[in-house]
Structure 1
């Protein structure tokens, strides 16, 4: 379990960070997570991925203005680059990250 300061530090110290907000009661979250993590691992070696359980870490969810699950936030070079909630496909997330990620990692 990470607090807001820990999460902010990870975002500041890594070029590419994904926050995955979910909860134990969310079936969509559990179906999406392994597929998304595998796609990130295969396509983007430098990504730091944090899973945040909104049922335990409500302050973190509120801090990042996450009100629906699953929600994915992608930070590139410390700035929020992508926000996807509820209805998203793995391919859609990968496609949106790919070009800016590749430019940034050159």
Structure 2
């Protein structure tokens, strides 16, 4: 079971973390998620990815000020680096992460 504390620990313990907020009723979320997770895995080997279902974990969504789905939050070195909601492409997310990630891990 996820909670805010466990997610905060994941963010502290891992240099690169993606939180993926979605819900079972969101068709866009389900279409985007596998493509995004595959692209992140292919491009960034050290990313920790946490999926959060806002229908069961609304308190976590509220804690991170997530009010629309799908939403992706990317944390690098424990700080929020990127926030994308609703209309996003996989390429757009990957491109925005690529340079700072390469600088961190080169």
Give aligned pairs, total. 106
Q: Which residue of 2 aligns with 1:57?
A: 57
Q: CA deviation at 1:26?
A: 0.1
Unaligned ranges ≥5, structure 2: none
Where do residues 1-106 of structure 1 align in structure 2 (5 Å cutoff)? 1-106=1-106
- Which whole-Å deviations, capped at 9, do the CAs of 1:41-68 have from their partners, x for residues lacking one? 0000000000000000000000000000
Unaligned ranges ≥5, structure 1: none
What is the root-mean-square deviation of aligned Cα atoms in Å? 0.4
Q: Distance in 1 between matches of 2:54 and 2:102?
A: 31
Query: Where do 4+ consecutive residues of structure 1 move more than 4 Å?
Result: none
Q: Distance in 1 between matches of 2:77 and 2:2?
A: 20
